[in-house]
Structure 1
Amino acid sequence: MRDKKFKSKKHGLGGFRLTGAIHIFDRAIQLPRLGRLRLKERGYLPVEGVQILSATVSERAGGWFVSVQVEREIPDPKATYKPVVGVDLGILALATISDGTRIENPHALKRDLGKIKRLQRVVSWRKKGSANREKAVRQLVRAHLRVANVRKDALHQITSRLATLAPAASAGGTKSAVVLEDLNVSGMVKNHHLAQAIVDVGFYEFRRQMDYKGQWYGCQVILADQFYPSSKRCSQCGHIQATLDMGTRVYICELCGLMIDRDLNAALNLEQLTTGSSPESYACLRQYRRYRCRESVSPGYQAVLVEAGTEQQSTCE
C-alpha cells in the first residue's frame, strides 16, 4: 500500500483546475467552491462571445493567478496585400525591422542580476528551516518572477506589433508576411561569453509567439534557411563578405562602399529574400553555396524559404 503524501505549505500549492459554474465580471470572478473573488487586474479575462470551459488557479511567488480556458470561434483572417518585412533578432537590439524600426532589448536578467546574486547569498547565509530563510527565499522568488515578467512583456509587445500592426507609423494594416531567421540557438549558447545574453533574449519564445499569432491575424511567418548569409551580404549590391566579426556593428561593403547598420542590413536581406527586389539576390545565393562546398567547411545549403511549422529541406548544388 502506497503511503499518502499530503501537500505541504513549505513547498507551495502549485495549481488546481476547476470546472462547473464559472462567471466572469468586470472586477471579480466567481469560481466553484471558492465563491466570488476580486481581481487585481481588470478587463483582461474574456467575457463576450466565449464559452467558458474551466479555470486554473495557480500560485507563483506568493501571488495568486487565474487563467480561464474558453472556446470561441475566430473568423478566418482576410487576405492582405501589405509589404513583406524582414526581422533580424539580436542581443543589443531585440529586433531590427527592415523599415528601420529598432526595438530595444530590455535585458531583463542583466538588469536585475546583481540583486538576484545578493538575495541568493542572503538565502545561503540563513539557517535552514528558519523563518528568516523562508523570508529570504520569498524575496528571491519574487526577483526571478519579475525578470520573467519583464522578458515576457517585451516579447508579447513586439510579436503582437508584428502580427497585427505595421512596424512603421506611416503604414497601416497587417503585414502579409514576416521573414525570420531559423536560428540555431542550441549551437549559439555554446559560446560561453554570450550564452547568458542569448538565453535572456528568448529567441525560441519569440518564434513560438509569432507562429500562433500569425495564424490568428493572417500574417504568414516565413523562416529563412539557417545558412543564409543575411549579415554578410550587402543589401544594395548583393556582394557577400568572406568574414564578418561579431564586434563589427557597421557593415561596410567592399564592392559598392555601402555603410549601414549591421542589423538593419540583415533585416533588409531577409525582406529581399522573399520579394526578390534585388536582381543579384539569387546570383549571390548560388555563389554562397559554391563557396561553402568548395571550402568544405560544412555541406553547402540552398537558402530556401520555409513556412513556420513545416519540414525544412536543404540541398547542395
Structure 2
Amino acid sequence: MIKFKQMDNFREGHKIQTDNDLRKEFTILRHSEGNEWLQDVSNNVTKQAIKDLCIAYKNFFRKQNQKQPGYIKYASKKIAHYNRIGKSLTVYDMNGHPKFRSKKNGDFRFYQDNVKIQFTETHAKLESLAGSRRKNRQRLNWIRLAERNRIPVRAKYMNPRIAFDGERWWLSVGIQTTRHLKPLRRLSFACKKRRQARSEGIGIDLGIKDLAVISDTTKVGNINKTRAIRILKKKRRRLQRQVSRKYQMNKKGDSYCKTSNLIKSEKRLLRINHRLTNIRQNHIHQATTAIIKRKPSFVCLEALNVRGMMKNRYLSEKIQEQNLYEFRRQIEYKARWAKIPVVIADRWYPSSKTCVICGHVKKDLNLSERTYVCPVCGNVIDRDFQAALNLKYYGEAERMNSAS
C-alpha cells in the first residue's frame, strides 16, 4: 500500500510523502479490523521498514530526475521478455526501482529498538523475542553471542540490525563515541610533514589476468587462480550436480519434496559459497590496504562499465569473480580516511590504446594482444602496465587543472 502511494505521487507529480506521514497512516491501518496480526510485531520493526522504504524511493526518484547521459529507462532484456509474453511495461519495471527483499534464500534482516537493546560481555538482550507469559520471560530474551567483548557495554547504540545469511545470524550496531576526529585539512607542522612524506601518485589498471596493475610496476594477483579457490570451485560443482540430482529424484508432479539429506547438501553448498566470498573479500581488503599504506599523493582509477563487460558470455564469470566495483569502493573510502585524493578517469579514456611515449592511439587493439607495439615510435610494452602509466599521467593532469 505504501509503495503504491509513493509511485502514484511520482506519476502525478506530487510531493513525496515523508516517513512520518506514512507511519501515521500505518498506525491507523494497524488498529483496523482484520489486521490484528500486526500487533504481534514490535512497532519499531514496521517503523524502520517504512523509513528504509522512503529512503529507497528518494534515491530512486533523484536518479530519475537527474537523467544522466546514457541512462536507459528499461533494460533491453526486460523489454524483449515482456514483448515475448505480450505484457506492457510499467513504472515498477524501471531501472533502479526498489525491489522487495526475497525471503526464499534465507537472506533477510530486521530492525531492533536502539533503546531496549542491551549488551553484556557475552549476551545481547533483544526486544519482544519470546512470547512466553512465564516469569522467566526476561531470561528468554537474552541471546548468547558467538564472540566475547565484541560490542561495548553501556554505550549509546544506533540503528541495530539483525541479519540472517542462510547459515549464521549477524548483529550489527552503531556505537556513539566521544573520540574527536581530526579535520580533513589541518595546517599544522605535523600534517605538512606527513604531506611531504607521501610518494608520487599512482595509476591502477583493473583487469582479469591480474586484479590490478599499478604504475610503479607492482601487480596484485588474481586470487581465483590459486589452488585453494580451484579446489573449492571443484567441490561446489560436484555438490551442485548432487543437489540437482536429488531434486529430480524427489520430484512429485509439479512440486519437489525436500528431504533431510537434500537440506544438508544445500547447507554444505551455502557454506562453500560463503567461504569463496570471504577469501575474495579478504584478498581485496589486503590489496587495497597495502596500496593506501604507501601514502601516494593521489590514486587514479578507471570508471569501468562492469554491466556492459558482463554481457561477454566468455568472460562474464571471470569478471564477476574479480569484484572490480568492490575494489574501487574500498579504495575510495580508505583513501578518504587517509586524506588521499582519488581521480576517476573517464569511461571512454583509451588508457590501453594510447602509446605512453608518443601518444599515438591504436584503435584496432584487440583484447588478445597483451603486448602493445606502437606503429609510430616502435614502443613495445605490456598493455596493462601502459594503461596504469597513462592513468597516472591522467591523474596528474587533472590535479594540475583543478589546482589552476
Partner of 1:149: 278
Could you tell me whether the CA contact under 8 Å between 1:77 and 1:217 is conserved in 2? no
Instruction: Give TM-score, length-normalised by structure 2.
Output: 0.57
More strand by share: 1
Q: 2:375 matched to 1:270?
A: no
Could you tell me whether the CA contact under 8 Å between 2:107 and 2:166 is conserved in 1? no
Q: 2:161 matched to 1:56?
A: yes
Could you tell me whether the CA contact under 8 Å between 1:61 and 1:142 is conserved in 2? no
1:76 to 183, 186, 189: 183
Cα separation, partners in 2 of 1:270 and 1:29, compared to 1, 3 Å: farther
Higher relative contact order (CA 8 A, sep 6+): 1
2:243 to 97, 114, 123: 123
Partner of 1:291: none
1:71 Cα offset (Å): 3.3
Secondary structure at the aligned position of 1:234 is classed as coil
Unaligned runs of 5+ in 2: 1-33, 42-102, 127-140, 186-190, 251-256, 400-404
What is the letter of the counterpart of residue 293 of structure 2? Answer: L
Q: 2:281 matched to 1:161?
A: no
Partner of 2:362: 241
Partner of 1:178: 299
1:181 Cα offset (Å): 0.6
**Mapping for residues 196-275 of structure 1, pairs under 5 Å:** 196-275=317-396
The separation in 2 between residues aligned to 1:144 and 1:205, in whole angstroms, is 17
Cα separation, partners in 2 of 1:250 and 1:24, compared to 1, 3 Å: farther
Q: Which moved more, 1:51-60 or 1:119-128?
A: 51-60
Q: 2:142 matched to 1:34?
A: yes
CA RMSD after TM alignment: 3.3
1:60 Cα offset (Å): 2.6
Secondary structure at the aligned position of 2:223 is classed as coil
Deviations 1:59-85 (A, max 9, x none): 334233332322345323466353111
Could you tell me whether the CA contact under 8 Å between 1:84 and 1:176 is conserved in 2? yes
Unaligned runs of 5+ in 1: 167-173, 277-303, 306-317
The separation in 1 between residues aligned to 2:111 and 2:244, in whole angstroms, is 35
Could you tell me whether the CA contact under 8 Å between 1:156 and 1:209 is conserved in 2? yes
Query: How many positions carry a matched residue from both structures?
Result: 263
What is the letter of the counterpart of residue 203 of structure 1? Answer: L
Q: Which moved more, 1:179-188 or 1:249-258?
A: 249-258
The separation in 1 between residues aligned to 2:211 and 2:355, in whole angstroms, is 22
The separation in 1 between residues aligned to 2:146 and 2:235, in whole angstroms, is 32
Q: Percent identity?
A: 34
Which of 1 and 2 has greater Rg? 2
2:171 to 66, 75, 88: 66
Cα separation, partners in 2 of 1:24 and 1:148, compared to 1, 3 Å: farther
